[in-house]
Amino acid sequence: MKKIINDPNSVVHEMLNGLVTTSNHLKLLDNSTVIVRTDAPIPNKVGIVSGGGSGHEPAHAGYVGKGMLDAAVAGEVFTSPTPDQVFEAIKAVDTGNGVFLVIKNYTGDVLNFEMAAELAEAEGIQVEKVIVNDDVAVEDSSFTTGRRGIAGTIFVHKIAGAMAESGAPLQAVKQVAEKVVANVRSMGMALTPCTVPASGKPSFHLEENEMEIGIGIHGEPGIERKPIATAEAIATELTEKVLGDYDFSGEVAVMVNGLGSTPEMELHIINKKVQAILADRGITVYKTYVGEYMTALEMAGCSVTLLKLDDEIKQLLDAPSEAQAFRQ
Amino acid sequence: MKKIINDPNSVVHEMLNGLVTTSNHLKLLDNSTVIVRTDAPIPNKVGIVSGGGSGHEPAHAGYVGKGMLDAAVAGEVFTSPTPDQVFEAIKAVDTGNGVFLVIKNYTGDVLNFEMAAELAEAEGIQVEKVIVNDDVAVEDSSFTTGRRGIAGTIFVHKIAGAMAESGAPLQAVKQVAEKVVANVRSMGMALTPCTVPASGKPSFHLEENEMEIGIGIHGEPGIERKPIATAEAIATELTEKVLGDYDFSGEVAVMVNGLGSTPEMELHIINKKVQAILADRGITVYKTYVGEYMTALEMAGCSVTLLKLDDEIKQLLDAPSEAQAFRQ
């Protein structure tokens, strides 16, 4: 295992302690794995909380900041945070206007975030949630009933975050988040596996000339393993599958996301073809994001996300954000 | 070779065409490899140009934007751009106030940028330059006389860019850029090599338990190969070598830079130790940057950069930037 770490069992703790030094706007709650805005809880604002297993950085702590999340809860690598940890986050951001949870659709996350919501409601905190399931590759998966939540989650953070920042009430935040979930689709692929530090071994094996289409962000099986194709063929396969799942006519936002060790150069090459496919279909691209937004440690590969836009989503997408991984 | 590409010989062309779709503020000059601000040339402003071989993304096109570079010139992968290409960039950003070149210290870059400067001066364009040589690992190297230029270059972009944006004349831009070069030091290490697409083979070999300290961003030899150490030992070795090279007492900015396939988690773990070392020495950290700023394709590894600050540099570091890879 080639990793720059100290102890495989303390990577999350050390990461979070390093991470908070990069911004005066972030703090780590004492004895926890919760990163919150230093100005939280913010009066008269719905608090937005997300999180999940670590290893997907910059998700989710990179999205904490004015205009996006109020708090992110980190579990162990590829492991859900506990209900107690999520409950800590909820308490840290609530000011009586309620808290909204953005949950990626993995069984552990859904269970633990929902249990945390119950704990919070028992203390009189209003909690609502949305479950993101943007990955069109497979129905049900190793850790998921239904579709998995992947990079499309970042658009939910952004739009729910902007809505909350505008002072909108909890139900309005929930409504627009649900619209984003309905309008967003993704699919990914990988060239190499990744290694969870505590395991020390790659999570699966791909031959030297092989790729896997539709793979999950924890290495869960995808649709097909086959010889590595060209970037154009890969972009076409991912984009066509996404387009075939929903009516994207009109205007979209595009995200080409790197899974960890894919050079930015290759993401731009994928993006070039995605843009060409959309132009051919008469779909207008309003905004394009290329980079590492939702990773799987050092997995090589990428995902393509499309978000169908309307005026409301466009306005919220364009709103300012001070989150480190989505500054605009 | 596991890469998401079409033709190894067209990666730069395709990358740049993909990249410009990510921002309305960037354009690719016709039949060139020059990315410029769409609003360039900007009246009454010194133009700032940088560039170099591709494969170091987001360097340098990611730093084009208001407050940083006016143009970035991309060569083939790990290959200097030609004088003609650099000359195109200079002409695209000059409005009579002169153009400032930020050059990383590689023999090819220095020769070709200087030749471009001569072509420009022959047409009456005032040109000044700075050569960045922040890498303390080795004196002279495969492609370099003297020290190599690595991630510290980003601070030169930022500070020279902010100075130019303020309306300062060419000599003032040059002066502050030289101060940054005098005040910045870096050192890197790698766990794995990277593969230039056109070569198809890794540029060097490291054993499964081996790392290289002081390696260059093109895989040029460093100081030593030895068994992989802990993150704390690696952070200590890099930081102590940097600290030993210059008097950093006072205030500094820190950059922990990923070379391509190192998970952000590991960079934060390195950063945690860097912060501890600086605190022990009584050095105040004003600002910390952790992420991929100057990469070497998919090389696994990192570098640590320290920049000594004074009031002028702090103010320019804090100035707004609209560059995609350094937005603030």
| pLDDT tens, position by position, A268-319 | 999 999 999 999 999 999 999 999 999 999 999 999 999 999 999 999 999 9
Cβ of B298 within 8 Å of Cβ of A262? The answer is yes
Half-sphere exposure of A296 (CA within 13 A, CB side): 29
Note the pLDDT tens digit of each residue in A109-134: 999 999 999 999 999 999 999 999 99
Terminal Cα distance for chain B, rounded? 37
C-alpha B150/C-alpha B108 separation (Å) is 15
DSSP annotation of A325 reads: G
- Cβ contact A147:A118 at 8 Å: no
**Burial class, A225, CB count within 10 angstroms (exposed 0-12 / middle 13-18 / buried 19+):** middle
Dihedral of the alpha carbons of B237, B240, B245, B246, in degrees to the nearest 10: 150
Q: What is the ipTM of this complex?
A: 0.97
Cβ of B262 within 8 Å of Cβ of A290? The answer is no
Question: Mean pLDDT throughout A154-165?
Answer: 98
Cβ of A208 within 8 Å of Cβ of B54? The answer is no
Contacts of A306 (CB under 8 A, 6+ apart): A184, A185, A186, A239, A242, A243, A246, A248, A252, A253, A254
Q: Which of residues 233-252 of B touch A (CB under 8 A)?
A: 234
- Cβ contact B11:A238 at 8 Å: no
For chain B, percent of residues with pLDDT exceeding 70: 100
Mean model confidence pLDDT for chain B: 97
Q: Please indicate if any CB of chain A lies within 8 Å of the CB of B295.
A: yes
Q: Which two tokens stand for residue B113?
A: 């940028």
Q: Which of A16, A271, A289 sits opposite B18 (nearest CB)?
A: A271
Q: What is the pLDDT of residue B65?
A: 98
Q: Which residues of chain A are within 8 Å of residue B260 when distances are taken between CB atoms?
A: 261, 263
C-alpha A214/C-alpha A242 separation (Å) is 11
- Cβ contact A192:A301 at 8 Å: yes
- Concatenated DSSP letters for A94-161? -SSS-EEEEEES-HHHHHHHHHHHHHHHHTT--EEEEEE--B-S-SSBTTBSSPPP-TTHHHHHHHHH
Q: Which of residues 39-98 of B touch A (CB under 8 A)?
A: 54-55, 57-58, 62, 77
Confidence tier at B142 by pLDDT (50, 70, 90): confident
Q: Please indicate if any CB of chain B lies within 8 Å of the CB of A18.
A: yes
Q: Please indicate if any CB of chain B lies within 8 Å of the CB of A322.
A: no
Q: Please indicate if any CB of chain A lies within 8 Å of the CB of B22.
A: yes
Q: Which residues of chain A are within 8 Å of residue B3 when distances are taken between CB atoms?
A: 191, 263, 266
C-alpha B241/C-alpha B223 separation (Å) is 11
C-alpha A317/C-alpha A131 separation (Å) is 19
Instruction: Convert B228-294 into a string of H (helix), E (strand) and C (coil).
Output: CCCHHHHHHHHHHHHHHCCCCCCEEEEEEEECECCCHHHHHHHHHHHHHHHHHCCCEEEEEEEECCC
Q: Which two tokens stand for residue B182?
A: 């005098």
Q: What is the pLDDT of residue A249?
A: 97
Q: Which of residues 165-204 of B touch A (CB under 8 A)?
A: 191-192
Note the pLDDT tens digit of each residue in A7-24: 999 999 999 999 999 999
Interface test with B, best of A226, A228, A269, A270 (most B CBs within 10 A): A269
Interface test with A, best of B1, B2, B318 (most A CBs within 10 A): B2
Cα–Cα distances (Å) from A258 to A145, A159, A188, B195, in that order, read 25, 21, 9, 18
Q: How many CB atoms lie within 10 A of CB B4?
A: 25
B124 to chain A, closest Cα gap in Å? 36
Residue A143 clears pLDDT 90, i.e. is over it: no
For chain A, percent of residues with pLDDT exceeding 70: 100
Note the pLDDT tens digit of each residue in B252-302: 999 999 999 999 999 999 999 999 999 999 999 999 999 999 999 999 999
Q: Please indicate if any CB of chain A lies within 8 Å of the CB of B292.
A: yes
Q: Is the bond into A60 cis (omega within 30 degrees of 0)?
A: yes
- For residue A101, the cross-strand partners are A49, A129
Mean model confidence pLDDT for chain A: 97
Catalytic sites of B, residue numbers: 56, 218
Alpha carbon B95 to chain centroid distance?
Answer: 25
Residue B144 clears pLDDT 90, i.e. is over it: no
Q: Which residue of A lies nearest to B19 if distances are taken between CA atoms?
A: A268
- Cβ contact B73:B64 at 8 Å: no
Question: Mean pLDDT throughout A42-50?
Answer: 97
Q: How many CB atoms lie within 10 A of CB B128?
A: 17
Note the pLDDT tens digit of each residue in B75-123: 999 999 999 999 999 999 999 999 999 999 999 999 999 999 999 999 9
Helix (H) or strand (E) holding B186: strand B184-190
Q: How many CB atoms lie within 10 A of CB B120?
A: 23
Contacts of B92 (CB under 8 A, 6+ apart): B29, B34, B36, B40, B41, B47, B70, B71
- Cβ contact B217:B153 at 8 Å: no
Residue B207 clears pLDDT 90, i.e. is over it: yes
C-alpha B157/C-alpha B78 separation (Å) is 20
Question: Mean pLDDT throughout B201-221?
Answer: 95
B74 to chain A, closest Cα gap in Å? 12
Q: Which residue of A lies nearest to B326 if distances are taken between CA atoms?
A: A327
Confidence tier at B309 by pLDDT (50, 70, 90): very high
Q: Which residue of A lies nearest to B287 if distances are taken between CA atoms?
A: A22
**Burial class, A66, CB count within 10 angstroms (exposed 0-12 / middle 13-18 / buried 19+):** middle
C-alpha A124/C-alpha A138 separation (Å) is 38
DSSP annotation of B162 reads: H
C-alpha B212/C-alpha B221 separation (Å) is 8
Q: How many CB atoms lie within 10 A of CB A18?
A: 27
Q: What is the pLDDT of residue A142?
A: 82
**Buried-state track B308-326, b at ≥16 Cβ within 10 A, e below 16:** bbeeebeebbebebbbbbb
Q: Is the bond into A227 cis (omega within 30 degrees of 0)?
A: no
Q: Which two tokens stand for residue A210?
A: 């092989």
Alpha carbon A96 to chain centroid distance?
Answer: 27
Q: Write phi, then psi, for B271 (nearest 5 degrees).
A: -60, -40
C-alpha B235/C-alpha B223 separation (Å) is 15
Q: Which residue of A lies nearest to B18 if distances are taken between CA atoms?
A: A272
Helix (H, G, I), strand (E, B) or coil at A242: helix
Which residue, among A268, A269, A262, A271, has the nearest Cα to A301 in the 3D structure? A262
Confidence tier at A144 by pLDDT (50, 70, 90): confident
Catalytic, out of A13, A25, A56, A268: A56
Contacts of B211 (CB under 8 A, 6+ apart): A2, B189, B190, B191, B225, B226, B227, B228, B229, B234, B301
DSSP annotation of A75 reads: E
Q: Please indicate if any CB of chain B lies within 8 Å of the CB of A231.
A: yes
Confidence tier at A140 by pLDDT (50, 70, 90): confident
Sheet holding A251-258, edge to edge: A224-227, A210-213, A184-190, A301-308, A251-258, A284-291
Q: What is the pLDDT of residue B141?
A: 84
C-alpha B146/C-alpha B142 separation (Å) is 11
B323 to chain A, closest Cα gap in Å? 10
Note the pLDDT tens digit of each residue in A68-90: 999 999 999 999 999 999 999 99
Q: Write phi, then psi, for B147 (nearest 5 degrees).
A: -85, 150
Domains of chain B (ranges, CATH numbers):
8-182 (3.40.50.10440), 184-317 (3.30.1180.20)
Cβ of B18 within 8 Å of Cβ of A269? The answer is yes
Confidence tier at A141 by pLDDT (50, 70, 90): confident
Contacts of B38 (CB under 8 A, 6+ apart): B24, B25, B26, B27
